[in-house]
Amino acid sequence: MPPEFALLAAALAAAVVLWLRERRLRRRVARELREMEARRAAYRNTAEHLSEGVILLDSRDRVVFANAAASGLLDVPPPPSSDPPPALGAWANPSFAASLRYGNPEETQRRVVELEGKGGPRTVELTSGPAEGGKRFLLLRDLRGAVAVDLKRRDFVANASHELQTPIAALIGLLDLLEDSDPATAAPLLQRAQRNAQSLSALTRDLLGLAKAEDPGWRPAPRGLKVAEAVARVEERLREKAAAKGLALVVRVTPPELEIVADRGSLDTVLANLVDNAISYTERGRVELRVSSEGGVGVAIEVEDTGPGIDPEILPRIFERFFRGDPAHSRASGGTGLGLAIVRNLVGRMGGRIAVRSRPGEGALFRVELPFSPAKPLPGAGQASFS
């Protein structure tokens, strides 16, 4: 054979070998891809049928995967399979997205959260933790009946103990210091001890208030009340606090002879907590308390302030027990994080509902609607809405 042919034959043989090898390689890659896809489909299928909600988020909090149980628990349709995937905040309800902003995403955490749904609030155990490639997984377990009550109680006791522990530890420290101090240095220590004792007192008062509002065995005592008298009591109680901050406290009842059938203590607590908050969180301007008759159905109470308003991210959480937007500010102004939880419970027991409207920088408006009598509750009694 001429040498050129030999060369050509060798080149051809090499090309065939290469082509065969590449074909084998391509087939193997295709097979592995198919197997991977099948494994992924199997995982998805398994996750899809779990009764627990499963959500996978990418590093930018976008929903890569969510099973049917997760959509069901969050009361939203399945996430669209778009590219890029939808942001968690845009897909899930805002209170859920907001509840994830707390805590370290690098750690696995478990806590009990309340989710607002169309059928009322729902108690869910939320576990979150890091997943491969900077992703994050979320597991949602619906807590019903006794389990929910038990876990909520455990969560509550843990929070309450922590809240009580802070001023108690401070008091013990201050008393130790006082033991060795002379009269000159004792005065500021005593003042701090007094402030901590006041925090303890406010906390125990609110804990008892909440326990009462939530106790199904507690029977409120509704009777005919003149709204203007309740408003005057609140004004009397909080006038000085508003004046000390240079705020105008404006009250108006229309018509002035407006009456309601309600438990007197509950009505006073609702009004006082809302006005007290408005004063605490407002540095300049005014706080208005307006109560008016609502088209023959009931009474509308509006508390409006010219304060900083409430960040939309935390707005859905403000009625949670122990939730504070700014813990330092809340503590400094005597807050316990329980005021709005008490308000919501009492409003529900009175057959009413509550709505909050707020834009950052434009103040907050709390609107409570109560029926003329708790015997005729309003539709959606006990619910809170936000805008």
Judged by the rule CB under 6 A, the positions of this chain that interact with ligand ADP are 277-278, 281, 305, 307, 310, 318, 323-326, 330, 335-341, 364
Minimum separation from the CB atom of position 183 to ligand ADP (A): 35
Three-class DSSP labels, 279-324: HHHCCCCEEEEEEEEECCCEEEEEEEECCCCCCCCCHHHCCCCCCC
* Cβ-contact 325, 263 below 8 angstroms: no
Residue 310 DSSP SS3: coil
Minimum separation from the CB atom of position 228 to ligand ADP (A): 23
> Rounded to whole angstroms, what are the CA distances from 177 to 186, 194, 218, 288?
9, 14, 43, 44
Q: Which is nearer to ligand ADP, 140 or 302 (CB)?
A: 302
Q: Which is nearer to ligand ADP, 122 or 324 (CB)?
A: 324
* Dist. CA 337–CA 356, nearest whole Å: 17
Q: Which is nearer to ligand ADP, 116 or 305 (CB)?
A: 305
Minimum separation from the CB atom of position 101 to ligand ADP (A): 14
Q: Which is nearer to ligand ADP, 87 or 202 (CB)?
A: 202
Minimum separation from the CB atom of position 119 to ligand ADP (A): 24
Give the number of other CB atoms < 10 A from CB of residue 362: 12
Q: Which is nearer to ligand ADP, 307 or 374 (CB)?
A: 307
* Cβ-contact 343, 211 below 8 angstroms: no
* Cβ-contact 232, 271 below 8 angstroms: no
* Alpha helices, H only, 100-179: 145-179
Residue 49 DSSP SS3: helix
Minimum separation from the CB atom of position 281 to ligand ADP (A): 4
- Reading the block at residue 88, the tokens are 């968690």
Minimum separation from the CB atom of position 248 to ligand ADP (A): 15
Minimum separation from the CB atom of position 383 to ligand ADP (A): 17
Q: Which is nearer to ligand ADP, 54 or 315 (CB)?
A: 315
Q: Which is nearer to ligand ADP, 91 or 366 (CB)?
A: 366
| Token pair 């105008």 in the structure block, residue | 248
Q: Which is nearer to ligand ADP, 141 or 349 (CB)?
A: 349
Long-range contact set of residues 320-328: C-beta below 8 Å, sequence gap at least 24:
320/114, 321/156, 321/159, 321/210, 322/159, 322/160, 322/163
Q: Name residue 357's beta-bridge partners.
A: 365
Chain centre distance of CA 180: 44
> Rounded to whole angstroms, what are the CA distances from 39 to 34, 42, 134?
9, 5, 21
Minimum separation from the CB atom of position 278 to ligand ADP (A): 5
Q: Which is nearer to ligand ADP, 47 or 303 (CB)?
A: 303
Q: Which residues contact 5 (CB under 8 A, 6 or more apart)?
A: none
Minimum separation from the CB atom of position 59 to ligand ADP (A): 29
What does the DSSP 8-state code read for residue 256?
A: T
